[in-house]
Structure 1
Amino acid sequence: MLSRTEKNFPKYLDEVRGNAQGAGLPFETLFVNDLLMEIYFYFSQKPPQATKEDLGCSTVYINRPDVKVIGHNEDGEDLARTLGYVIDATITGGDGVEEKFTSLCYPGGLPGVSMGYNHHGMIFSVNGLAGPTIDKAAPADFVLREVLRASNIDEVKNIVSNAGFGVSSGFNINVGSIVDTSTQWSVEVAPDVSESKVSIKEIHESDDPEKSTYYHMNEYRHLDIEVETAARSKGRLERALSLPVPTCAKDARNILGDTDDTTFPIYRSVRPSDEYATVCTGMFDLLNKRFDIYFDNPSGDTGPLLPFSIQCEA
């Protein structure tokens, strides 16, 4: 995996080396930290080994003429609630700015694997997907890191296809833009060796609440691939579909904060039946160019802890 990443993503491997040096940790420790999906679902030969049920994240899309929102629950280990962080990075090259983005990060991990936005006005959030894991392709976290460079949906597709290398584990990226707000995109990616399998569903602007709304949890919804859906993900999706169709940001927050299904709640907490929790909730408001992060249940009256203004500088 290291040799393949050296060939495919040398710049981002340098980022891992720099982080390791700054943290005073072995490079191998942080590199392995960026291979968690591959380790959980492929390389781990003895317990505890992750299952499809451990995957997290729930996303609500609303694309109406007057409301354009993508809300996202970031589910993961509860420790990330206190140890996670947001970075605001500007990376310059010989001819000026190469990359500029803001991204929520897991401790010691590459940016791009959770949610954030860049200076092209593109916004992203990620849902893990359990498909067939492949050990002869590029690590998923490095592909997701590359996505932070994208200036439009075509570039997103080219990046996740990763021609010549493919990707080792699956994921879904929820994509929007403050430049082109007419469409939102759900990008599903399945592992393959030489080039990833990619499906893009477009959520178009509509006055019809049913047509303007979409949900994504941890299952393949539109890419043609035979994978068993986890009961926890299926339960969250069924619960979201049973609720009134959202038409505003508050409605989306209410869905993401829903706990009425005590077995598979959309807003998760650590319990005997669930080792993962909703670490935080991100709300992207494309019309008002805002990204707000909530650390309490977003359906309550408490406002966001971290508000950001999304600027398009390209």
Structure 2
Amino acid sequence: MPAVEKIGRRNSIPVLYTCGTHYEVGFDVGRTFSSLIHSFLEASKPLNKVFLPLYETDAGRKVYEETLACVRKNFPQYLREMEGTADGAEVPFHKLFLLHMDSILPNVLGQNPGNNHGTGCSTVCCNHPGEEILGHTEDALAEVLNHIYFVSAHIVSDLPQGRWKVTEEHFTSLCYAGHLPGYTMSYNHHGFVYSVNVVSAKTQVSARTPRYFLTRALLAAENFAQAQEILRDSGCGAGNAVSINMTFLNQEGDRLFHNIEVGPAVGAADESALSIFTASPGEHIFHCNKYLRLQIPEESGEIMESSNHRHATMNSFPHPTTKDDVITILGDQSDKEYSIFQEAGDDDYVKTVAVGIFDCIRRTWSIYTDNPKTNKPIVVLPVQLKYPLK
């Protein structure tokens, strides 16, 4: 039994500051967090019970190879980053890529378990005068607990990289062990702040871009138009579904928060389906792990039931107008079946592994490793921008 199952919730998140090429940054991540990556690969039930057995079949290998070829064409720099992580941690590359394909492999092969244990995150954006907050619970399968770390990276390339011709990236991201940055909550030096909610589309697609690579690409976005372009992924499109909550700290005019729902490029479609909602001053955003606007069929089961419960709980509160309101909502455990803050009980499939509060006025990022209603943040990070606010 992996040791993580015996040590309970730890109030600890390590951080790595690194700079270099994509491969060098990936290598430093793998070398620094090798023990956490090995532990996670051993503990991951989806990887060991679903993804790897399917990978060993001819049909599974075909889905893997055609998806890998798609990513290699459009985002080769992120594969080099992943190769660096695999080399630094001394783990097989294919195991890491299978984690990044996520539910695509079983879904395409009709093996669903997809995302059937209510795993997912809850996000609250509060856009009120003097209080501009993006709050997020990072919820994941139980084995992710204590397998997270921060990566603060500065990547500079001699030549433009990937389909968006990126030459420089500077970001800080909370990461699952062995996973690329960008998939949980993050910010970059352009002042782009965002969090991620998974959505389980009923039909997913191989030979398309897995959502992990779209969220990784977001770390280079300079503005809202670029973020939309990255998520639309014209010419290819997403292989699975995701929802992004975002704002730009250095935008002109009023504070705006956006939620973008992203749907897979199914059939002849060659770009992701997008639906955008914008919260102006005085408005707010609640989002969990279901589509609120896109009319795309989704998996039934616990992820839908959990999202319905969490949305009902959020909507039972008055509209949030302060950071304390956001914390109260994200720490709520009033629903005994599917609470917003999900505790680390032995019988729980899903845990809240961290809570983040971005304060857009004070430019801070507070991270909690336990319920924010009853605990102080483990760290308050400054959100450092390339272009200082005037």
* 2:169 paired with 1:99: yes
One-letter amino acid matched to 2:91: L
Partner Cα distance (2:104, 2:344) in 1: 24
Greater CA drift, 88-97 or 260-269: 88-97
Partner of 2:232: 161
Confirm whether residue 308 of structure 1 aligns to residue 384 of structure 2.
Answer: no
In the alignment, the residues of structure 1 paired with residue 182 and residue 104 of structure 2 have an alpha-carbon distance, to the nearest angstrom, of 17
Question: 150-159 vs 219-228, which deviates more?
Answer: 219-228
> TM-score, normalization: structure 1?
0.92
Change (3 A) 1:39 1:307: farther
Total equivalences in the alignment: 306
Whether 2:151 is the aligned partner of 1:87: answer yes
Match of 2:185 among 104, 115, 129: 115
Question: Shift in Å at residue 37 of structure 1?
Answer: 2.9
RMSD between aligned residues: 1.9
Instruction: Give the fraction of aligned pairs with identical amino acids, expressed as a percent.
Output: 33
Q: What is aligned with 1:216?
A: 287
**In the alignment, what sits opposite 2:68?**
2
Sort the Cα spacing of 1:194 and 1:307 in 2 relative to 1 into closer, same or farther, 3 A: same
Q: Which has the larger radius of gyration?
A: 2
Q: 1:226 to 1:44 in 2, by over 3 A?
A: closer
CA shift for structure 1 position 86: 0.4
Q: Which residue of 2 aligns with 1:197?
A: 273
In structure 1, how many angstroms separate the alpha carbons of the residues matched to 2:321 and 2:209? 39
User: Which residue of structure 2 aligns with residue 28 of structure 1?
Assistant: 94
Show the counterpart of 2:121.
Answer: 57
Task: Kindly indicate which of the two structures has a greater share of residues assigned to helix.
Answer: 2
Q: Work out whether 1:128 is the aligned partner of 2:198.
A: yes
Give the Å deviation of 1:245. Answer: 2.3
Tell me which moved more, 177-186 or 194-203: 177-186
Could you tell me how far apart the structure 2 residues matched to 1:42 and 1:275 are? Answer: 24
Q: Which amino acid aligns with 1:116?
A: S
C-alpha separation in 2, matches of 1:99 and 1:197: 26
C-alpha distance in 2 between matches for 1:188 and 1:281: 21
1:265 is paired with a residue whose SS is coil
CA distance in 2, matches of 1:89, 1:126: 19
CA contact (8 A) 1:115 1:125 kept: yes
CA distance in 2, matches of 1:144, 1:215: 20
Gaps in structure 2 of 5+ consecutive residues? 1-66, 160-165
Relative to structure 1, the CA distance from residue 222 to residue 142 in structure 2 (aligned partners, 3 Å threshold; closer, same or farther) is: same
- Alignment gaps of 5+ in structure 1: 207-211
